[in-house]
Amino acid sequence: MEIISKFMIGSEEGISDLITIIDSSVYALHKDFVSEEDIRQYINNEIDPRKMINELNNLSNQLVMTYADQQPAGYSLIKSGSVYPGIVAGKRATEISFVIIPDFNTPEIRQSLWKKCRAAVSFTDEIWINMLTHDPLLEFLKENGFTQIDTAQTGPFSLPSCILKMEI
């Protein structure tokens, strides 16, 4: 399997691939907690390509996409200057998302995405993520240096989550 992780811009292809991953991951992460109809409504009403293009064209944001055999497999959205309660004053913080489609959740794909994401955040003091407590990628991030600092609720359906951070 050929695995490639690369930076993407807000092009039609990049947005289309990002939406493919988001749709699949939203369904996979919420299907046991929320009705299929509610998930479908959320995807149809809230996943807006124009908003995504605007977000990706913000110079503070970077998108890393991972492909397996040229199929979109995962992404990490990196948001510089994003803060969470509890960040030490004067430290630079960067928020990330880390998403892989369940069918592609393999050690090689996780490592490829993480390696590229980690390289992209080398400029900051801390990275943080708010991740659902049942997300299968949670343990991977902990194994790679993240520590849990708080609990919360996140996502479109306000499910239990935890805030993780990592000092760079």
How does residue 81 score in pLDDT terms, banded at 50, 70 and 90?
Answer: confident
Amino acid at 38: D
Percent of the chain beyond pLDDT 90? Answer: 80
**pLDDT for 84 beyond 80:** no
Residues 92/127, Cβ–Cβ less than 8 Å:
no
Q: Residue 163: pLDDT band by 50, 70, 90 thresholds?
A: very high
pLDDT above 80: residue 21: yes
If phi over 0 gives left and psi between -120 and 50 gives alpha, with beta otherwise, what is residue 86?
left
Residue 90, helix vs strand vs coil: coil
Interval 116-145: pLDDT, tens:
999 999 989 999 999 999 999 999 999 999
- CATH 3.30.70.890 corresponds to the domain 3-167: no
The interaxial angle of helices 12-30 and 49-56, nearest 10 deg, is 110
